[in-house]
A and B are shown apart, each in its own frame.
Chain A
């Protein structure tokens, strides 16, 4: 069963618009971690943010912010004032304590296209 769902396949925006990416996860663990990674056309997965299940504080880091809500099992990610360089596929990932920490379960990814 899919444990991480990214319902948005592709999002197209014009530069300077905000982009919010949705992620819904499923787990029975009380201790788990959630991640967002970015994959540009080169293929490498670039780490963006990490959150553990005990910290629901939402933060802003530069143009990135996230909204973690355990009550709805959601971990949404927002890019503020998007730029062309933000064009990439974005993946949400779950790592569970009852599984080894090195095993990530990824969502299907959301393609973000930012046009000038």
Chain B
């Protein structure tokens, strides 16, 4: 069974630009969550999508947005990039049912903002 895939793996952008990251969950999984990892703040929850609906959102500015498609693939977008957005962005997929299931993470996208 294929794992969680994220594209691209590496990105270099400049301040003010926008970026879109993609995440394909494990087949059959309907929940996708996104996390930002930085040396200073650690792993922080961005948002969770289930069946194309945002189910939860972390404490991030509106520049961070996401969506989920009918095939459960998810994208997150960051507009007007700032230097502080440089981070490893991880997505995780889960079954998303009523009971907690393990979430499996992708390899991440490393974003560098210059």
**A91 x B43 contact (CB < 8 A):** yes
When distances are taken between beta carbons in the complex, the residues of chain B under 8 Å from A47 are 102-105
- Among B33, B94, B100, B105, the residue within 8 A (CB) of A44 is B105
Q: How many residues of B sit at the interface, in one of the four size bands? A: 20 to 34
B101 contacts which of A37, A101, A105, A106 (Cβ < 8 Å)? A101
- Please give me the residue from chain A that is nearest to B9 by CB atom: A43
Select one of A101, A105, A108, A109 contacting B94, CB under 8 A. Answer: A101
Kindly list chain A residues whose C-beta atoms are within 8 Å of the C-beta of B88. 43
Q: What's the interface size class on A, roughly? A: 20 to 34
Q: In the complex, are the beta carbons of B105 and A37 less than 8 A apart?
A: yes
Residues of chain B lying within 8 A (CB to CB) of residue A37 = 105
Residue among A37, A91, A104, A109 facing the most chain B CB atoms (10 A cut-off):
A104
From A44, A100, A102, B106 is in contact (CB under 8 Å) with: A44
Would you give the 0/1 interface string for A32-49, flagging 1 where the beta carbon is closer than 8 Å to chain B? 010101000011111100
Q: Bound complex: CA of A91 vs CA of B37, how far in Å?
A: 12
Residue ID in chain B nearest A96 by CB atoms = B100
Question: 27 interchain pairs (CB within 8 A)?
Answer: A43-B107, A44-B90, A44-B105, A46-B105, A47-B104, A50-B100, A91-B43, A95-B100, A97-B100, A100-B50, A101-B31, A101-B94, A101-B96, A101-B99, A101-B100, A101-B101, A102-B48, A102-B92, A102-B94, A102-B103, A103-B56, A103-B58, A104-B45, A104-B92, A106-B43, A107-B42, A109-B42
**Residues on B close to A: CB < 8 A?**
31-33, 35, 42-43, 45, 48, 50, 55-56, 58, 88, 90, 92, 94, 96, 99-108, 110
Chain A positions near chain B (C-beta within 8 angstroms): 33, 35, 37, 42-47, 50, 52, 91, 95, 97, 99-109
The 3 closest A-B pairs by CB, nearest first: A102-B48, A45-B105, A106-B43
